[in-house]
Amino acid sequence: MELKNKFLINSLIGIIAGMIVGIVMWNLFGAGDHEGRSFTLHIIMSAIHGLIPCGAMTVFEIESWGLTKSTVVHATITLATILLIELPMKWFTWNADFAIAMVIYVVIYMIIWLCNYLYWKHTVNEMNDQLEIILKQQRV
């Protein structure tokens, strides 16, 4: 699949996920706690909040980039999204809650990254084992 198509699919998934999370958060915290912001604006910003990091996952598909470069670029884009959307929307303010949220973000990002790393490492090892079996069979 082309990189552009992967980006579009990832972005669409992000929009849908962002809107679902936005609706859930709106309902959890009640319409009265949103300081005059409309539901529509909240959902649009939630969709954008989902679109950008999910679309940015495509950087992991760029074969010429290493894991480190892809991770730094994706983490930077994701963090920038948080700063450019969540703070102006006042989903967080510059206080201890935001600092706690950033620590949680880093921990969750590291857990997701580690799970993906271990999954792909296992997959590559399995592929190498299968390749080794094929090569041994060809030698016989």
pLDDT by 10-residue block (mean), the chain, 140 residues: 91 96 84 69 92 92 89 92 84 83 90 90 94 89
pLDDT on residue 112: 87
> What pLDDT was estimated at residue 34?
58
Q: What is the DSSP letter of 64?
A: T
pTM: predicted TM-score of the whole model, two decimal places: 0.74
So what's the pLDDT on residue 33? 58
Whole-angstrom distance, CA of residue 119 vs CA of residue 109: 15
Residue 47, pLDDT score: 95
**Rounded to whole angstroms, what are the CA distances from 47 to 21, 22, 38, 92?**
9, 8, 14, 17
Supply the pLDDT for residue 76. Answer: 93
pLDDT at position 133 is 92
State both tokens at 36.
């005059």
**Which DSSP category does 137 fall into?**
H
